[in-house]
Chains A and B, each alone.
Chain A
Amino acid sequence: MYTLTESDALRQPERLHEAWDRPETFAFISEKNEDVGEWVRRSLELLPPEIQEHHFALLTSGSTGQPKIIIGPKKRSEALVETLHELQDSHPVEQTILALPLSYSYAFVNQWLWSRRFHRHLIATRGFAQPDELGHALDSARNAMICLVGVQVPLLSRFFEGREFPGVIRVHFAGGRFPQEKLSVVASHFPEAQIFNNYGCAEAMPRLTLRKAEAADEATDIGQPLPGVELSTDETGQLVFRSRYGAVGIIDEKGFTPVTPEMWVGTGDLGAQTERGTWKLAGRASEVFKRHGEKVSLYLLLTAVHRAWHGQAAFYREADKSGEEGHVLALAPSPKEEDVRAILQVFRKDFARAHWPLRIESMGTLPLLPNGKVNAAGIPAVPDRQVHWQQRI
C-alpha cells in the first residue's frame, strides 16, 4: 500500500494509471494534505487484508474540515463511470477539462477515471487559480466536458466576462449547492452545453443522483437516484444512502469503520422525497440550529439569498450579543445598496426574524477549501470585511 500525490500524478500522468493497474491499494492525496500524509500512511497499514488490494483511497475534509479517508473498490468506481456515461449521454464527449483538484473525488471519478475508461483526453488545468490557462483550455475545447462546483460560477463571470466556449458540450455541478439561479450565466458561457446537477458525497465515491438542469426549477432538487442507489432518511431527517458504487470503509479520528451492503450511510444533508419521486435537500444536517425557538436552516436561507444575489454567498455561525446562536451572511464581491435591499426583502417576505442574519458583510472573495467549497469557518479571519446591515439584537 502506498500514497500518490496529486502533483506527482499531474507531472507524470502515467503514475496514476500505474497505480490503478497495480493490485495494491493506494491513496491519492493532494499535496496540500501532505501534513496529514503520515496519518494517511499509518491508517492504511491498519486496513483489513481484503482491502489491501484492488481498492483506492481518497482523502476528504468535506465541509467539516475534519480529514477522512474514504476507501472504495476500483471495480465499483469503474461501474459508476459506465453508468454515468450512459445516463449523461457522454458518448459525444471527446475530452474533459479539469478545473478542480484532481484528488477531489468528484473530479477523480467523473473526469480522470471516466477519461481512462472511455479513452478520452484529460486536459489538466489549475482551474481559477490560473484563469488564463483555464480560459485557453476552454477556448480550445472540442466536444468537452467540465466539472464545476457552484461557487465557481461567479468566477466564470469575473474572469471570462462576455466569452463563449461553444466547444464545451457538458457541464456538471456537484460538491455544494447547485447554481439553479445562475443557469443563464452558465449557459451564456457554454451555449452548446447540457448542464447537469450531479449530487453525491465522498462516501458515495462520489455520485448518488442525477438530474438535467432543466428538469427542475429549484436548486434543492437533486433528481432521481442512480440505478443501484437507494435513498432514504433517518430519524433525524438526514438523507442516507446504500449504493453499489459506494465506499467499503471510512477512516477518521475514530479509526476504521467498514461499510457493509446493508448499512445506510449518512450524506450529512437533510432531505425529503418529493411527490414526483425526486429528492430535495433541506440543508446540511450540521447547519440546522435553533434560534429564538425557530429551526434555522442555513441551506434554505442561502437558496433564498441567491434569488436576489448572483455573487458568492455563504453563512458562518456567530453568537449574538445575548449569547444566542446566530449566523452572519458573507457576500463577495461588495454588493450595491440595492442588492442588499433586495436580499433583505427576501428575508422579510419569506422568513421570520429569527432566521435573519446578525449581519450582512462583504469581502473581495470568499475563502475556499482545497476542494473548492467555501471555507465558512475561515471567513471571520478575512481582513477588511465591510458591514452593510446588522440586526440590533
Chain B
Amino acid sequence: MENRDKLRRLVLDVFLLDPSEFRFDLRREEVQTWDSLGVVSLAVGVQETFGYHFTPEEATGIKSIQDIVDLLTARGVRFDN
C-alpha cells in the first residue's frame, strides 16, 4: 500500500471519518474528533504505521493532515503519487 493510502487509512481509523470527508488539506479544527486523546492515538498510529515517533511538541503542533505529511517527509518517508 502506498504511504498516502496508509496515512489516509490511519486518519480515517483514528478520527472515524467517512472516506468522503478525507482531504490532505483537512485542518484540525474541521475534525471534531481530533481531541487530546485523538492526538495521542494519531501519534501511536504513525509510530505503528511509519515507524516514526512524534515528540509531544510535534504531535500537539500538528494542525492539518498536510503537517503530518511534511513531518514524515522530512524524516525520509516518501508520499509521491
Interface on A for B, CB 8 Å cutoff? Answer: 292, 341, 344-345, 347-348, 352-354, 356, 389, 391-393
Contacts and interface: CB of A to CB of B under 8 A. Distances in A.
B42 A392 contact: yes
B38 interface: yes
Contacts of A389: 13
Contacts of B41: 353, 391-393
A30 B60 CA distance: 58
A393 B16 contact: no
B8 to A, nearest CB: 14
Interface string B10-49: 0001111010000000000000110101101110110010
Contact of A392 (B16, B18, B33, B44): B44
B33 A348 contact: yes
Given A392-B42, A392-B45, A392-B48, A354 B37 contact: yes
A353 B18 contact: no
Given A348-B15, A393-B44, 8 more contacts: A292-B37, A345-B18, A353-B37, A353-B38, A353-B41, A391-B41, A392-B45, A393-B37
A347 B16 contact: yes
14 contacts: A292-B37, A348-B16, A348-B32, A352-B35, A353-B33, A353-B37, A353-B38, A353-B41, A356-B16, A389-B13, A391-B41, A392-B13, A393-B37, A393-B44
Summarize B's interface: helix, strand, loop or mixed.
helix
Contacts of A354: 37
Contacts of B15: 348
Nearest to A348: B16
A294 to B, nearest CB: 10
A341 B20 CA distance: 12
B18 A341 contact: yes
A354 to B, nearest CB: 7
Contacts of B44: 392-393
B16 A344 contact: yes
Contacts of A344: 16
Contacts of B48: 392
A393 B48 CA distance: 11
B52 to A, nearest CB: 14
Nearest to B41: A392
A393 B15 CA distance: 13
A393 B46 CA distance: 12
Max chain B C-beta neighbours (<10 A), residue from A341, A354, A392, A393: A392
A291 B42 CA distance: 19
Nearest to A346: B16
List the 9 closest pairs (A to B, CB-CB), nearest first. A348-B16, A392-B44, A392-B41, A392-B45, A353-B37, A344-B16, A393-B41, A393-B40, A393-B44
Contacts of B13: 389, 392
A391 to B, nearest CB: 6
A347 B14 CA distance: 12
A391 B41 CA distance: 7
Contacts of B40: 392-393
A392 B44 CA distance: 6
A25 B41 CA distance: 59
Contacts of A391: 41
A345 B21 CA distance: 12
A343 to B, nearest CB: 10
Contacts of A356: 16
A392 B40 CA distance: 8
A103 B48 CA distance: 51
Nearest to B49: A392
B66 to A, nearest CB: 20
Nearest to B15: A348
B65 to A, nearest CB: 16
B2 to A, nearest CB: 20
Contacts of B38: 353
Nearest to B42: A392
A348 B18 CA distance: 10
Contacts of B32: 348
